[in-house]
Amino acid sequence: MKIKLLLIITAMLLVVTIQAKPQFGRDQLFNDNWRFKLSDVKDGELTNLDDSNWRQLNLPHDWTVEGVYSPDKASSTGYLPGGIGWYRKTFSVPETEKGNKVYIYFEGVYNHSEVFINGNSVGKRPNGYISFMYDLTPYIKFGHENLISVKVDHSLDADSRWYTGSGIYRNAYLVYASPVHIDLWGVYCKATNVTDKKAVVSVETTIHNESDKAANILVSYQVIDPVSGKIVARSFKSLGTESTKKTVTSQTFSIASPRRWSLEQPNLYTLKTIIFQNGKVIDQNEQQIGIRTLTFDPNKGFALNGVWTKVKGVCIHHDAGCLGSAVPREVWKRRLTTLKEMGCNAIRMSHNPQAPDVYELCDELGILVMDEAFDEWEFAKKKWISGWNKGTPGFQGAASYFADWSDKDLGDMILRDRNHASVIMWSIGNEVDYPNDPYSHPILDHANINQPVQGGYLPNNPKAERLGAIAKRLAAIVRGLDTSRPVTAALAGVVMSNETEYPSSLDITGYNYTEERYALDHANYPKRVIFGSENGHSMKSWKAVRDNEYIFGQFLWTGIDYLGESGSWPSRGFYSGFLDFGGFIKPRGHFRQALWSTKPVAYIGTYSQPKDNRFLSTDAWPVWNYVEGKMVRIVCYTNASKALLILNGKQAGELKNQDDNTGVIYWDIPFHEGKLEVIGLDKKDNQTCSYALQTSGKPDSITAQSDISEIKDFHGVAQVTVQIVDEKGIPVMISEDEVTCAIEGPAKLLGLEASNNSDMGNYSDNVQRVYHGRLIAYVQATGSEGKVNLKFTAPWLKETNVTIKVLNK
């Protein structure tokens, strides 16, 4: 059923948030004690192969980020290597499991993977971002040792416009299940009616009977209140299932006075699903669920739970600097929390399904999600080899398997993610309509279309009309699995696409970098819901959203610096994020916070007085170290009505009002060392916020602060911020000292990240040069309790130590 956008889309949903696991059976994390070899091993799946000299490691694992940066590698994927790798793991299946099913579930393997059990191939998956599962049962030796082998072929390592990583870079699970069990991603929840008094909830469950007999079962649900812990709804239903078939059953129940999931209060109930056969429990799962309503209106924008809301979103890729694509949940939590504190309320999963941890955290933190399936359809996009938009591009990529796998890949994304409260829309593509790359249309010969086009209409290129047919097919797949959210896409060539059926196949339409089209297309297509699916950081771009009720939001490129899509060597990646590689907020993040945050904020950065007086940087770092008397520009990013600058306790420059044209208040003053402070004032001159800088001396000491004092998981991660300070403890932003980290105790160093985009050195050792006077150390527990001592040293500086306890709770 298509959500027909005549005037308004309203969707009501009870949504499930714990999706990392396959949602059925008895799962166990399957990450430990794998063996790995980076080589195209002949017969790597065979049980008699000697792998005793292979490297032993735990998942998740990304071998690409362990490689050496080299200018002969593709800039698009960050000047890092791909290759072919093999993973092998032996494990025993108890004799008592005979008669049950055994599955392997991978959250993501990049890419072109093939899985073997005891030498037998059980499946291949070319897409590196999709979660998938295989049935191992026919080849399992119950009561004996078994061997699982995984070949990962990323030999075509210039296959993306950004960094991908290589290997089994997300979690793996081994799953035991009764022959009659809940299907993979087999629970689907939605609400048919939500009011303050009652939420009417429908739960659709798919039961897979893999036995050779019909089975009668009882399906039971319990919903537990997030505050009281009491059961607030329950339901039971008897069901007959046929042998070797899937059976779908639906149940409806009500929740009185529902606590809604919102940005401010992301309330999450607990849903227990239990399957009984002959009075015994044969399968069950427990998930968190949220209740909320979505409204999309072509004139009023977007409402969450009936509250009209501007979506203040960012696009993100899936890596984390020196960690590559194997990013621990704790790292994602710190990053997403920082973005939300900055005023961000939405994430676009650019341009592929991401780790389940990210969706779960968005559910828990109250962050909206635009989920996205593809960056390219039937034709490969340009992949830059020698720097962004430089040289001759390559054309490796996901288009090579789109025809064979797109239906399956898209469907699996919807099934996996459709129960997340945070997900509010499904994107079926990003910039697949970029003019002449490769699709073309005669409209490109027309003047004043405000689109970046090379050479006008190219009649020998694929016809743009093809976009409409593909979009219809993909949209139908989405609507066949979920009607509670709109289908969208991020259009790069909206003028060209308007001549096709592409936009009309969508429910809401994303515009990439074409704010000048908003008013015109709103008038020409009055039933179209329009938003910014990818945007620049300018004040003008934000005002196009803020000042137009019918534009419900924007997603800025990008929220976090990412590897790949690099410039000319040396360049690790794309540096337009609000957060850097290490997850620290950058000056432009403070600027955006002043525009987006509802809390009073102020920030000041500095740079030498520019020759062009009109130049107002939104990338000014908080440094107050210059030559005495030098003229310095101080820029203030604040949401206060006015700002007052204070230098060493005295007013410096005039009191200035907020500038709504630039979003920047500035002063030009001569430098004098000491304390520089800005005070934000409201319209009645009451102080609402402040921010201060101090002149620093030469580097004297290292300080280090862990985000946690205890790691409460045997594989948990602590994030330690290391800062260079002077003898007074003032941060030395201009420091570039080389820091060494030594660890004693049950933990290991995952990496040191200083966030310097041009540092192409070794990120696999325990030595790193700070950037802007700081870096972050990622420390992971190694499987036992105890005390971990971290020592940070640097030549000529006073060292520091950090102690962290590892517990098993």
- Mind telling me the catalytic residues? 431, 534
| Dihedral-angle region of residue 456 (phi above 0 means left; psi in -120 to 50 means alpha; beta otherwise) | left
Residues in the chain: 809
What gap in Å lies between CA 480 and CA 477, rounded to an integer? 5
Its sign, for the CA torsion 739, 751, 163, 69, is positive
What gap in Å lies between CA 635 and CA 323, rounded to an integer? 34
User: What's the Cα-to-Cα distance from 599 to each of 95, 339, 591, 638, rounded to whole Å?
Assistant: 60, 14, 14, 10
Residue type at 146? N
Number of CB atoms found within 10 A of residue 670's CB: 14
CA 666 to chain centre: 35
What gap in Å lies between CA 549 and CA 368, rounded to an integer? 19
> Could you give the count of Cα atoms lying within 13 Å of 446 in the half-sphere of its Cβ?
11
Pairing of strands 509-512, 487-491: parallel
Under DSSP, the state recorded for 261 is B
What gap in Å lies between CA 157 and CA 378, rounded to an integer? 19
Reading the block at residue 802, the tokens are 């950090």
Its sign, for the CA torsion 433, 436, 441, 445, is positive
Describe the crossing of helices 402-417 and 466-481 by its angle, rounded to 10 degrees. Answer: 30
Which DSSP string do the residues of 168-205 spell out, in sequence order?
S-S-EEEEEE-SEEEEEEEEEEEEEEE-SSEEEEEEEE
Summary count for the chain: helices (H), strands (E): 8, 47
Could you give phi then psi for residue 786, rounded to 5 degrees?
Answer: 150, -175
Collapsed DSSP state (helix, strand, coil) of residue 139: helix
Pairing of strands 120-125, 113-117: antiparallel
